Amino acid sequence: MTQELLYWQALNRALDAEMAADESVFILGEDVGLYGGSYRVTEGLYAKYGEARVRDTPISENSFTGLGVGAALVGMRPVVEIMTINFAMLALDSIVNGAAKIPFMSGGQFPMPLVIRVPGGIARQLAAQHAQRLESMFMNVPGLRVAVPATPQDAYWQLRQAIASDEPVVLLEHEVLYFTKGPVDPMAEPPPIHQAAIRRSGKDLTLIGYSRSALQVQEAAVELAKEGIEAEAIDLRSLNPIDWQTLIDSVNKTHRALIVEEDCRHAGAGAEIAASLAERCFFSLDAPVQRVAGLDLPTPYNGALEAASIPRVADIVAAARALIGAKEKAAA
């Protein structure tokens, strides 16, 4: 039955469903238990499942993430919450050298059913050390899957799929999405965890976003439609692997692509997507693939500067107009 849920509630339901179904699922992280989670995602689970399965940890990111790796090696299904992606830097050894490598370097002997949930992105004036995205850092690691849900329904589906997966999955949750609302049907059959979703069909250009920017490209598409520009809005849903087929089919139809990422432009997700689309769709492109991205700048504390350092819907609309030459038309 479809319900309207907040993004954090959808994640909470997903955890509850998996923990009820499988005793090998357990949660650990800072303040996930008694406190209920920094973004309420684990609310109520400590009371329901007890402290052994909803474990409050000391502030020791590398070791409690590595604890998850060790438990996954012997078939448990740990869900590690790292309070924010900024602290995931301290756990990179466990994620990159551990979770991503062990199944491979053991010659395929071990499962790694580990989920690492990481809130991230630019929230509201949290300043440079608490306002990063860093998704390209994880995209670059073979052996890791990176899922980026933008809606409560995807948050629900993708977290459940991540827990069920025997591969390590980093689930990047955007901090401003936790209190967004949307329909969640827990009974509906989910698409594959890495399948991109076409949120709006169009013929004039392809707008590609993920996580928060997936919502922004939909808003931009609505704006563009008022000017008679039919944009196709795609929500990537996964950054590793990437559903290239959906992107290629779209670009072969629209002949133009614009990627929107909140992460820094330099060597970001957009660079990988633009390069791959240029390689695969060169002859059907009418213009170079474009990017609207965060500035290559540590996030300023000042609110106006912070807002100016990441893509806004108006930026996307302007870039889309420029890409299809609409600006010239409007001026004529």
Partner 1 sequence: MEREMMHRLLRDMLLSRVFEERAAEEYQKGNIVGFLHLYPGEEAVAAGVINAAGPADYIVSTYREHAHALVRGVPARAVMAELFGRATGMSGGMGGSMHMFDRQRRFMGGYGIVGETYPIAIGIGYAVMLRALPETVICFFGDGAVPQGTFHESLNMAALWRLPVLFVCENNHYAIGTEIHRHSAVPEVYKRAAAYNIPAEKVDGMDVLKVYAATRHALDRIRRAGGPQFLEFETYRYRGHSMADPGAYRPPVEVKAFQAIDPLTVGARAIEFRYPTAAELAEVGPDNIGRLTEHMISAGHLEEAEIAQLRKDVEAEVEDAVQFSLASPQPTMDDAWRHLHCNRHHEQLLTA
In angstroms, what is the minimal distance from the CB of 101 to partner 1? Answer: 8
Q: Report the alpha-carbon distance of residue 81 to residue 32 in Å, rounded.
A: 8
**Contact, 7 vs 152, CB < 8 A?**
yes
Strand order in the sheet with 205-209: 197-200, 231-235, 205-209, 257-264, 290-294
Q: Which stretch binds partner 1 (CB under 8 A): 203-211, 217-225, 235-243, 292-300?
A: 235-243
Q: Report the alpha-carbon distance of residue 305 to residue 109 in Å, rounded.
A: 50
Query: 1 or 52, CB closer to partner 1?
Result: 52
The catalytic position among 30, 61, 173, 262 is 61
Q: Which is nearest to 133 in space by CA: 295, 304, 271?
A: 295
Pull the structure tokens for residue 163: 């827990």
Q: Which stretch binds partner 1 (CB under 8 A): 208-216, 237-245, 263-271, 312-320?
A: 237-245
Residues shown for the chain:
332
Choice from 154, 243, 261, 306 touching partner 1 (CB under 8 A): 243
Choice from 43, 125, 143, 252 touching partner 1 (CB under 8 A): 143
Distances (CA, A) of 143 to 113, 118, 168: 12, 17, 7
Q: Is 125 a binder of partner 1 (CB under 8 A)?
A: no
Distances (CA, A) of 3 to 42, 161, 184, 204, 305: 19, 20, 5, 34, 37
The catalytic position among 30, 81, 130, 262 is 130
Q: Is 93 a binder of partner 1 (CB under 8 A)?
A: yes
Query: 123 or 197, CB closer to partner 1?
Result: 197
Query: 80 or 220, CB closer to partner 1?
Result: 80
Q: Report the alpha-carbon distance of residue 56 to residue 180 in Å, rounded.
A: 26
Q: In terms of DSSP bridges, do strands 25-29 and 54-56 run parallel, antiparallel, or are they unpaired? A: parallel
Q: Is 140 a binder of partner 1 (CB under 8 A)?
A: no
In angstroms, what is the minimal distance from the CB of 242 to partner 1? Answer: 7
Distances (CA, A) of 123 to 84, 90, 96: 11, 21, 26
Site string for partner 1, 269-288 (x = CB under 8 A): -----------x--------
194 is catalytic: no
Q: Where in 175-234 is the site for partner 1 (CB under 8 A)?
A: 192, 194-196
Q: Report the alpha-carbon distance of residue 126 to residue 11 in Å, rounded.
A: 23
In angstroms, what is the minimal distance from the CB of 156 to partner 1? Answer: 20
Site string for partner 1, 284-313 (x = CB under 8 A): ------------------------------
Number of residues that bind partner 1 (CB under 8 A): 56
Q: Report the alpha-carbon distance of residue 298 to residue 306 in Å, rounded.
A: 9
**Contact, 95 vs 116, CB < 8 A?**
yes
Q: Where in 23-82 is the site for partner 1 (CB under 8 A)?
A: 26, 52-53, 55, 57-58, 60, 62-76, 78
In angstroms, what is the minimal distance from the CB of 98 to partner 1? Answer: 7
**Contact, 87 vs 61, CB < 8 A?**
yes
Q: Report the alpha-carbon distance of residue 251 to residue 290 in Å, rounded.
A: 12
61 is catalytic: yes
Residues of the shown chain interacting with partner 1 in the complex, contacts defined by CB under 8 A = 26, 52-53, 55, 57-58, 60, 62-76, 78, 93-94, 97-98, 102-113, 142-143, 165-167, 192, 194-196, 241-246, 248, 280
Instruction: Give the residue numbers annotated as catalytic, written as ranges.
Output: 61, 130
